[in-house]
Structure 1
Amino acid sequence: MAMTAVARETVFALRRQIAKIEGTLPERLQASAGATSDADVNTGLTPNTNVTIVRRGVAATLPDAFLPTGVERLDAALSGGLPKAALSEIHGIETRDAGAVAGFALSLTSLILKQTQGLPVLWIGTTEIFREAGFPYARGLHASFGIEPEHLLFSEAPRLVDALWVAEEAAKMTALAAVILEIRGNPQRLDLTATRRLHARAQGAGRPVFLLRQAAEPEPTAAPVRLIVASAPAVPRETIAGPLAGSIGRPAFTITIGKSRTALPGQFTLEWNPDERVFDERRGDERWGEERAKNPVAVVSLSGSGKDPAAASGAILAFPAVGSPAVGNQPSQRQRATHLGPRRAG
């Protein structure tokens, strides 16, 4: 009987360890007062004792286990947000997406620093990475993300093996709020074993590790979450009188869930609010839809030989400009050619 209880406790311990590696948490159940549950009888525990039961596919969400993005639909698809004590991948399909990937990572860093005052974030990359994508601008960090320059540290490694070593050593440090590792492509050294080590270090320290990947293809890794990030068109700036034509609004990102604990796919367009430092979701380009509803006429009319040309937008009144010739004094055809010819200096 004693051996059976010991064996059962060993199985429970192994299941808890597997759940920790997979990024899930065991479900905690508390026996009701004055009653003895089946688990109490089977395990030989006394009533009114917290019993940890691990079920496959069941994960309990602790209040501080995830970093919510603030976008309800995205957080629901990620089962609460990005895991804090885990490795998370942020992909850019093409090299030109490096700016969007970095901007999204800095937005997450801003959210993290709100909760961990005073702790810095370490950004690790190779010389090739920083030569291709550059370093974040200090003034822009403060203006757009509220990040003080002393809170963002950089480590430039000459080789990928050196960058991975620095990342593994930094991932286990509780003196850092987060670790960012930026890698280009799909190097052979960054295999499943290397990502398992990073993920295990992040779990042990209780800190997030973000793996930024430039121009990389999805491949098996230990990260429970993979987000694919690209830049999205910015909408005009909002003013009291309405959208300001010709202006550039907030930075926007297209976020695609490539991998998550819930296995729920989804694509979202997020705008970063640099004033309040929060994400806002833009659904179906709502603002552009409002603008099209206000002015349904096409910006550029179709050609005369085209079908269904755009209708006139209303009455058009022409006023002669100051100093322009009168209607009856237009230049002749012979004069017009000279008038429209290229200017000659001197």
Structure 2
Amino acid sequence: MAMSAVARDTVFALRRQIAKIEGTLPERLEAPVPGAPRTISGRAIPGKVRSGLPSGIAEPTGSGVTIVRRGLAVASPDAFLHTGIERLDTALGGGLPKAALSEIHGLETRDAGTVAGFALSLASLILKQKQGLPVLWIGTAEIFREAGFPYARGLHALFGIEPEQLLFSEAPKLLDALWIAEEAARMTAFAAVILEIRGSSRLLDLTATRRLHARAQAAGRPVLLLRQAGEAEPTAAPVRLIVSAAPAASRETLAGPLAGSIGRPAFTVDIGKSRTALPGQFTLEWNPDEHAFAERTENSVAVVPVPLRGTDPAPASGAVLAFPPVASPAAISPTAGDQPSRQQRPAHRSPRRTG
């Protein structure tokens, strides 16, 4: 019996720790009390301990019961950064968590500008609420050399961010960048911290991301992890958004869409991981005048043909033939004038002389 009580306490502690890591706080999490009736939602339940219960309820242990609802934690609306897109915020369970680590992933190096633009859009929304505080952007010399720095005039014109509101920290190695990010994430002097890395590294494992997530929760500030050209790997971030460039729509005028024009910048956002585990794909446009997102649902016009991942798309089939049809097989027989001369024949078909 003593061993059984120790085992119950150990299982309870592990479940509590897992719930904290996953960010799914239980609606009701009670330690088993010896001699108390087993209850679920206030109702006594008979039966023995068994496994294989539904995913919404933890299995009873001993004479008590540990109830772990795998639903969403009850949080106030102020705990999330609302993107302004109702469908996206609903799919994310309220929006991006403010006091957490959020991952923004670009699948290829050419998506670096798109990922940076999406991060600056989020930073613009954050600075509306945290006025007077700067944003710290951390990266290695390699990533800044490959992707470059944001343009100061573009920051103000497109996102409403003053140049002095965006601070950069260039580290020689990824290990140094992670150390800077951990120290900056615990500070309340920044409105947000952005860590940009390139590729996949063994240094960015679950342990490193858990530290960043814990520091963000303690300081109540968001930490954005920008990943360029890396495979999706397990991290402690509750939210992972996969961002790529979307074709720009035509510019709207009073007379309607202006043909051949380039409209607002657009992003294709896929939910790779979230608190709700709901997948979804959204096409968002950034309004540089109002500094807000808008969802685009109508068909867009591609200004530049975008090839598929790795290969170009096959041309559409049509009724136009490369050669006109012939009346009979005799019409395609070659004539003497069509035969190439000896000098025009390929070298590999001429006889090879030896000796």
Question: What TM-score does the superposition give when structure 2 sets the normalisation length?
Answer: 0.69
Residue 20 of structure 1 deviates from its aligned partner by 4.1
Separation of aligned partners in 2, 1:158 and 1:236? 42
Distance 1:79 1:103, change over 3 A: same
2:117 is aligned with what amino acid? Answer: G
1:251 is aligned to 265
Superposed CA deviations along residues 302-321 of structure 1, whole A, max 9, x for unmatched, are 78659xxxxxxxxxxxxxxx
| SS, match of residue 115 in structure 2 | helix
1:134 is aligned to 148
Separation of aligned partners in 2, 1:54 and 1:304? 65
| SS, match of residue 170 in structure 1 | helix
Q: Which runs of 4+ in 1 moved over 2 A?
A: 8-28, 53-58, 302-306
| SS, match of residue 253 in structure 1 | strand
1:89 is aligned to 103
1:278 is aligned to 292
Superposed CA deviations along residues 275-333 of structure 1, whole A, max 9, x for unmatched, are 01111111152x559xxxxxxxxxxxx78659xxxxxxxxxxxxxxxxxxxxxxxxxxx
Residue 252 of structure 1 deviates from its aligned partner by 0.2
Correspondence for 1:176 among 180, 190, 206? 190
Correspondence for 1:263 among 266, 274, 277? 277
2:224 is aligned with what amino acid? Answer: F
1:293 is aligned to none
1:167 is aligned to 181
1:21 is aligned with what amino acid? Answer: I
Superposed CA deviations along residues 21-71 of structure 1, whole A, max 9, x for unmatched, are 33244549xxxxxxxxx999x9xxxxxxxxxx9633241131211111111
1:21 is aligned to 21
1:242 is aligned to 256
2:112 is aligned to 98
Separation of aligned partners in 2, 1:217 and 1:10? 35
| SS, match of residue 201 in structure 1 | helix
1:69 is aligned with what amino acid? Answer: T
1:79 is aligned to 93
1:22 is aligned with what amino acid? Answer: E
1:141 is aligned with what amino acid? Answer: L
Alignment of 1:285-300 (within 5 A): 285=299
Separation of aligned partners in 1, 2:108 and 2:278? 24
Separation of aligned partners in 2, 1:137 and 1:260? 31
Separation of aligned partners in 2, 1:248 and 1:153? 31
| SS, match of residue 64 in structure 1 | helix
Distance 1:17 1:205, change over 3 A: farther
Structure 2: gaps of 5 or more residues:
1-7, 29-39, 45-66, 303-317, 323-355
Correspondence for 1:226 among 240, 248, 273? 240
The answer to whether the 8 A contact 1:21-1:200 is kept is no
When the two chains are superposed, the root-mean-square deviation of aligned CA atoms in Å is 3.0
- Alignment of 1:193 onto 2:203: no
The answer to whether the 8 A contact 1:90-1:226 is kept is yes
Separation of aligned partners in 2, 1:123 and 1:236? 33
1:93 is aligned with what amino acid? Answer: L
Alignment of 1:138-149 (within 5 A): 138-149=152-163
1:23 is aligned with what amino acid? Answer: G
The answer to whether the 8 A contact 2:216-2:222 is kept is yes
Distance 1:156 1:13, change over 3 A: same
Separation of aligned partners in 2, 1:159 and 1:213? 15
Separation of aligned partners in 2, 1:150 and 1:284? 38
Structure 1: gaps of 5 or more residues:
1-7, 29-37, 43-52, 290-301, 307-346
1:263 is aligned with what amino acid? Answer: A
Question: What TM-score does the superposition give when structure 1 sets the normalisation length?
Answer: 0.71
The answer to whether the 8 A contact 1:89-1:225 is kept is yes
Superposed CA deviations along residues 226-272 of structure 1, whole A, max 9, x for unmatched, are 11000001011111121122211100000011111111111111000
The answer to whether the 8 A contact 1:25-1:61 is kept is no
2:55 is aligned to none
Distance 1:58 1:249, change over 3 A: closer
1:232 is aligned with what amino acid? Answer: A
Correspondence for 1:120 among 125, 131, 134? 134
| SS, match of residue 203 in structure 1 | helix
Distance 1:12 1:192, change over 3 A: closer
The answer to whether the 8 A contact 1:24-1:60 is kept is no
Alignment of 1:261-340 (within 5 A): 261-285=275-299, 305=321
Residue 131 of structure 1 deviates from its aligned partner by 0.3
Separation of aligned partners in 2, 1:54 and 1:115? 34
- Compare 55-64 and 273-282 and name the one that shifted more: 55-64
The answer to whether the 8 A contact 2:72-2:276 is kept is no
The answer to whether the 8 A contact 1:120-1:177 is kept is yes
Correspondence for 1:111 among 121, 125, 136? 125
